[in-house]
A and B are shown apart, each in its own frame.
Chain A
Amino acid sequence: KNQVEQSPQSLIILEGKNCTLQCNYTVSPFSNLRWYKQDTGRGPVSLTIMTFSENTKSNGRYTATLDADTKQSSLHITASQLSDSASYICVVSALTGGGNKLTFGTGTQLKVEL
């Protein structure tokens, strides 16, 4: 069964600190992995999308890594800001004979405090 597990479930950090969110998946056949940021009451916004051959991808202060062998990904946030407080969702896409299948993680709730 395709699954995406994220950890931790929630996290509180001080402004200016770094943090790393984890995503483990058992989706196959793997096509790509995405990280989304979702502010409360809004739709998710894409941060990165990584294919099998990509190990690292950055988007400003956000850096995602992918290890396709161990089926793990991480999202590193550098020099956190209050505006980084949001839910971060890992999504894995599988390309099957029946079409694309998306499997969603339940998200990591990040709170950045002063």
Chain B
Amino acid sequence: KAGVTQTPRYLIKTRGQQVTLSCSPISGHRSVSWYQQTPGQGLQFLFEYFSETQRNKGNFPGRFSGRQFSNSRSEMNVSTLELGDSALYLCASSLRTLDYEQYFGPGTRLTVT
């Protein structure tokens, strides 16, 4: 069974731009969640989607948004990029909810200059 895939793996953007990251979950998994990881803050939860609906949300500004498609694939969008948005963005999928085991993708390394 294929694992969670994320594209692109690396990205360089400039301040003020916007970016869209993509995540394909494990086949059969309906929950997709997104996380930001930085050396200073560690892993932080962004949001979770299930059946195309946002079910849980972390404490991030509205510049961070996401969506899920009918095939469970998910995208995350960050608008008006700031230098502090430089991070590793991880996507994870699980069968049903965050309470189930999470399977993480390799992440997208975003650098904002």
* A in complex with B: yes
**B-contacting residues of A (Cβ < 8 Å)?**
31-32, 34, 36, 41-46, 49, 89, 91, 93, 95, 98-102, 104-107
Main secondary structure of the interface of A (DSSP, over half): strand
B99 and A104 contact, CB distance less than 8 A: no
A36–B45 Cα distance when bound, in Å, is 15
Who on chain B is nearest to A6 by CB?
B42
Main secondary structure of the interface of B (DSSP, over half): strand
Q: Which residues of B contact A (CB under 8 A)?
A: 4, 42-45, 48, 55-56, 90, 92, 97-99, 101-107, 109
Given A42-B107, A104-B42, A49-B101 contact (CB < 8 Å):
yes
The answer to whether B101 and A31 have CB atoms under 8 Å apart is no
Contact across chains for B42 and A93 when beta carbons are under 8 A apart: no
Quote the shortest CB–CB distance from A1 to chain B (angstroms).
12
27 of the cross-chain contacts (CB-CB < 8 Å) are A34-B101, A34-B102, A36-B104, A41-B107, A43-B4, A43-B105, A43-B106, A44-B43, A44-B104, A46-B102, A49-B101, A93-B99, A98-B56, A99-B55, A99-B56, A100-B48, A100-B97, A100-B98, A101-B45, A101-B56, A101-B98, A102-B98, A104-B42, A104-B44, A104-B45, A105-B42, A107-B42
Closest to B104 in A: A43
Q: Do residues A45 and B43 form an inter-chain contact, with CB atoms below 8 A?
A: no
